[in-house]
Structure 1
């Protein structure tokens, strides 16, 4: 059986340098790291992780809690997190909550038992989170992703949800839309959706218009046309729909088109996330983009900074509007050259 000394000798480095290739690869030059890893593969060497953990009191594992894998925004973010973590010698332990706050504490407790070095969390409601209250008594670094920071102890990485929905509402108003509805999943399960609705409401108010009550769907990613249909009738029928995420927007477009509505000639639809799938369908989805790779990378770097003893800080990732065929002028103005 090969050992670390054999690996070091074959790679032409010291034993300490070879050890750093497995415990802190970010400290080595890429050329040196490649030599050590190539030597370890050639000799069939695997480091003793248990011994490393006992010696350093570190597992080099980061616990990641997200709502679901079914929404690509979390999957794409997670991929960026994994790449960044691996570059710094860390692995991820991942679990999902299915948007249920009662699952959060159980999952985090299990991760703490496995002695993760830190946690990256997306919770239902950061302001009223049971799991964050419990973590106040634990000596483990925590970074929130997507949630707004409830107070200074919990650094957060997110887009400005309020401003993002304010901006897209402004854009709809400039196109001439006045009857705008917002669709979300269960509001109590998402502080992001509540912030987005507040941003939408403020933009409407700034134009002297009252925001309509949110159209709350039973699930976060599946639209119910029977709940939406009454809002599409009469002299104040909605001409634009803002959806709290892209999957809900795509489901809404499907329901509208199956019912005979033209998108966007009769009803415009805008999503929130900017997932790649939205651009692959027809009509392509207009969406507020929150860059998933930047969110994932920033979350890991913020957690590594906490692990290094640096003070916590927040990161607001810039958003932008991705054009799409699902957005147009309201019916009365379509084709009038305004």
Structure 2
């Protein structure tokens, strides 16, 4: 078995410097902050010690432009991600470029395989429509190939930069304030065990500290589970009068399960979603929700990516939080 290839992540760790610094030294790129000769020698010494070998093929490709942007998306069944994907594609195509899409389906090995295909087909950059940790193996692949990337909708706590995402804290505050202003006190939450959605649950507990855990379904995996949860709420002696849902997709399922259990929305139960997908306004009744500014998010992500591609320079520690807004429709009502 051959020796494992040394990555620039390992070189950076050995030298005690950032990945961006190692990348700039290996690619002879200048930045606003000059790298000292001492630091350069420390990095080169670390690379020699570890046996790091540069990839001349990848370096040559970086000097060219193919006009192709790769997009990795975690779930092709998620209506919010699909709408956001379309807006990213429109932004890219409006600049005379095009996209190719890889579906990770929540699998790390699939994500790595998709990314390797993109790297071998000379992609100019990659947008990650996923919640990716900075220590994720395929992030190391991006770093090794010096491929520009942007995390879109990711979790800021992962420290994967640059990142463009909605301000979930503001969104949850808007949802809770709307329901409390309507007189609701017993408020529940329905989510799914996916990073990002889990973050909204933690915010829910932060802004509704008196929340009854029995009114919280944090890992909705299928319709049967959701039906059973709503059924229990319907037969609870003091049921919640409102539910906050981590996504519109979940909220629409909640409304359907409520109807199956003899509950009318919003007469018996107020429901509020998160995202404002197309189906939210078309539902019966139309869904009250927290709107993510998808157009602005897509535009900012593409601009950040193209800036890296054109300047051939990494962008470190940049986070853009986009403000959501409340869209009040017909699934929430004032308590009598």
TM-score scaled by length of structure 1: 0.73
Q: What displacement does 1:237 show? A: 1.0
Q: What displacement does 1:128 show? A: 5.6
Matched, 1:110 2:117: yes
Q: Which residue is equivalent to 1:156?
A: 163
Mark the CA change 1:102 to 1:168 in structure 2 (over 3 Å): closer, same or farther.
Answer: farther
Q: Which residue is equivalent to 1:212?
A: 213
- Spell out the pairing of 1:54-69 with structure 2 (5 A cutoff): 57-69=64-76
Correspondent of 1:266 among 265, 268, 289: 268
Task: Look up the SS of the partner of 2:213 in the other structure.
Answer: coil
- Spell out the pairing of 1:176-325 with structure 2 (5 A cutoff): 176-185=183-192, 187=193, 190-205=194-209, 209-210=210-211, 212=213, 214-219=216-221, 224-309=226-311, 311-312=315-316, 313-325=318-330
Task: Look up the SS of the partner of 1:62 in the other structure.
Answer: strand
Mark the CA change 1:152 to 1:71 in structure 2 (over 3 Å): closer, same or farther.
Answer: closer
Task: Look up the SS of the partner of 1:224 in the other structure.
Answer: helix
Q: What displacement does 1:152 show? A: 5.8
Q: What displacement does 1:110 show? A: 1.7
Q: Which of structure 1's runs of 4+ aligned residues deviate more than 6 A? A: 220-223
Q: Which residue is equivalent to 2:17?
A: none
Q: Is the 8 A contact 2:129 2:153 kept in 1?
A: yes
Mark the CA change 1:120 to 1:280 in structure 2 (over 3 Å): closer, same or farther.
Answer: same
Task: Look up the SS of the partner of 1:139 in the other structure.
Answer: coil
Structure-2 separation of matches of 1:256 and 1:101: 35
Mark the CA change 1:144 to 1:271 in structure 2 (over 3 Å): closer, same or farther.
Answer: same
- Deviating more after overlay: 214-223 vs 174-183: 214-223
- Spell out the pairing of 1:26-175 with structure 2 (5 A cutoff): 57-126=64-133, 129-150=136-157, 154-175=161-182
Task: Look up the SS of the partner of 1:140 in the other structure.
Answer: coil
Structure-1 separation of matches of 2:166 and 2:146: 27
Mark the CA change 1:210 to 1:249 in structure 2 (over 3 Å): closer, same or farther.
Answer: closer
When the two chains are superposed, the root-mean-square deviation of aligned CA atoms in Å is 2.5
Q: Is the 8 A contact 1:184 1:220 kept in 2?
A: no
**Unmatched segments (≥5 aa) in structure 1:** 1-52
Q: Is the 8 A contact 1:68 1:99 kept in 2?
A: yes
**Unmatched segments (≥5 aa) in structure 2:** 1-59
Q: Is the 8 A contact 2:149 2:305 kept in 1?
A: yes
Structure-1 separation of matches of 2:229 and 2:107: 23
TM-score scaled by length of structure 2: 0.74
Number of equivalenced pairs: 273
Q: Is the 8 A contact 1:240 1:269 kept in 2?
A: yes
Q: What displacement does 1:258 show? A: 2.1
Q: What displacement does 1:222 show? A: 8.6
For residues 201-221 of structure 1, give each alpha carbon's deviation from its aligned partner in whole angstroms, at most 9, with x where no partner exists. 11112xxx2452641344389
Q: What displacement does 1:121 show? A: 0.3
Q: What displacement does 1:296 show? A: 1.4
